[in-house]
Amino acid sequence: MNKYQEALSNIGGIVLEPSNDGYHDPRTVCQFFVEDIVILHELVNIYPEYLELKAKATPKKPAGYHTDYNCPTCNKRVRSGKGSSSRIKDTVCRNCYQVLDWGKE
Q: For 30-88, write each residue's pLDDT tens digit.
A: 655 677 778 778 878 888 888 888 999 999 999 998 888 999 999 999 998 887 667 88
> Which residues, in sequence order, are CB contacts of 76 under 8 Å at separation 6+?
70, 93, 94, 95, 96
Instruction: Tell me what pLDDT residue 74 has.
Output: 95
Residue 47 CA to residue 66 CA, distance in Å, equals: 38
Query: Which spans in 2-101 are helix H?
Result: 3-16, 26-32, 34-57
Query: What is the domain partition of the chain in residue ranges?
Result: 3-55, 58-105
Check whether 18 has a pLDDT greater than 60: no
Instruction: Tell me what pLDDT residue 16 has.
Output: 47
Residue 91 in contact with residue 99, Cβ under 8 Å?
A: yes
